[in-house]
Chains A and B, each alone.
Chain A
Amino acid sequence: AQKITQTQPGMFVQEKEAVTLDCTYDTSDPSYGLFWYKQPSSGEMIFLIYQGSYDQQNATEGRYSLNFQKARKSANLVISASQLGDSAMYFCAMREQTNFGNEKLTFGTGTRLTIIP
Chain B
Amino acid sequence: GAVVSQHPSRVICKSGTSVKIECRSLDFQATTMFWYRQFPKQSLMLMATSNEGSKATYEQGVEKDKFLINHASLTLSTLTVTSAHPEDSSFYICSASSLGQGDYGYTFGSGTRLTVV
Q: Which residues of A contact B (CB under 8 A)?
A: 33, 35, 37, 42-45, 47, 50, 91, 95, 98, 100, 102-110
Contact = CB atoms under 8 A, between A and B. Distances in A.
A33 B43 contact: no
Contacts of A110: 42-43
A43 B18 CA distance: 23
Contacts of B104: 33, 35, 47, 50
A102 B104 CA distance: 15
A41 B60 CA distance: 28
B110 A100 contact: no
A102 B51 contact: yes
A107 B110 contact: no
Contacts of A109: 42-43
A105 B97 CA distance: 10
